[in-house]
C-alpha cells in the first residue's frame, strides 16, 4: 500500500524489499548455472521475520546455514556520500559489530568506496597534525574513526542491482521478472553451449587419437 502523502518515501522503502527478492533470485540463478549447491535465502523466508542483523544468509547443500555469511541489504540515502554517512551513524553500528556484509545499490558502490577513501585520507592527515600537537585523546578518537570507515569500506558489497532497477521491480514486478528471466535464460544458454562445446571437443579429440 502507498500513502499518497508519502508516495516517494513509501515506494523507496518498498523498493528495498523488492531488491531483496531480486537479489535472492539472481544470486541463486547464477549458483544453479555454475553448479554451486549453496543457496542464498532471505531470513524472512526462513521464519526469521525482521531479523535484527541479516536480510540474507547462505545455506549449504543440506540446507544448513553457513556461519559468517550474513548480509544486510541497504538501499538508502540520496547519493553515495549520504549513504556512507548513514553507514557511519550509530544506528548502523550493530551491523558492523556483527561483521555483516552490507549489500548496496550498484550505482552507489563505486561512489561509497571513493568517498570512504577520501575520508580515510582526510582523517589520516588530521591524525598526523594532532599527534604533532601531542593531543593523545583526540588522536585516539580519530584512530577509531579511521578504523570504522575502513571496516565499512571492507564490508560493503555491490548487490548487482541499481536503485532504478529496485524501484522498477516495485512498480512493475511482472515486467521486471520477465526481463530477469530473459537475461538468466541467455546466461544459462551460453554456459550450456560452452559445456556442449567442451564435451564435443573432447569426443572429437578422442576420435582423432583413435
DSSP run (H or E) holding 140: helix 136-155
Are 177 and 168 in contact, with CB atoms under 8 Å apart?
Answer: no
Residues of the chain with pLDDT under 70: 194-210
> What pLDDT is stored for residue 93 in this prediction?
94
What was the pLDDT predicted at 60?
A: 97
If one counts every other C-beta atom within 10 angstroms of the C-beta of residue 104, the result is: 28
Tell me if 18 sits within 8 A of 36, measured CB to CB.
Answer: no
Q: Tell me the percentage of the chain whose pLDDT exceeds 70.
A: 91
pTM, rounded to two decimals: 0.83
Nearest alpha-carbon partner for 166 in 28, 10, 19 = 19
Amino acid at each position: 500500500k502507498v500513502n499518497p502523502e508519502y508516495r516517494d518515501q513509501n515506494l523507496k522503502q518498498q523498493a528495498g524489499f523488492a531488491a531483496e527478492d531480486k537479489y535472492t533470485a539472481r544470486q541463486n540463478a547464477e549458483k544453479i548455472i555454475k553448479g554451486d549447491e549453496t543457496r542464498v535465502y532471505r531470513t524472512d523466508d526462513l521464519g526469521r521475520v525482521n531479523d535484527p542483523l541479516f536480510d540474507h544468509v547462505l545455506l549449504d547443500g543440506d540446507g544448513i546455514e553457513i556461519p559468517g555469511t550474513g548480509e544486510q541489504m541497504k538501499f538508502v540515502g540520496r547519493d553515495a556520500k549520504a549513504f556512507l554517512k548513514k553507514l557511519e551513524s550509530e544506528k548502523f553500528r550493530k551491523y558492523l559489530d556483527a561483521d555483516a556484509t552490507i549489500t548496496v545499490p550498484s550505482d552507489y558502490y563505486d561512489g561509497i568506496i571513493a568517498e570512504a577513501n577520501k575520508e580515510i585520507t582526510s582523517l589520516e592527515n588530521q591524525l598526523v597534525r594532532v599527534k604533532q600537537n601531542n593531543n593523545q585523546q583526540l588522536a585516539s578518537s580519530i584512530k577509531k574513526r579511521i578504523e570504522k570507515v575502513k571496516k565499512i569500506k571492507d564490508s560493503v558489497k555491490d548487490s548487482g542491482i541499481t536503485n532504478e532497477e529496485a524501484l522498477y521491480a516495485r512498480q512493475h514486478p511482472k515486467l521486471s521478472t520477465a526481463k530477469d528471466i530473459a537475461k538468466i535464460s541467455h546466461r544459462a544458454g551460453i554456459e550450456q553451449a560452452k559445456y556442449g562445446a567442451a564435451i564435443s571437443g573432447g569426443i572429437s579429440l578422442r576420435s582423432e587419437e583413435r
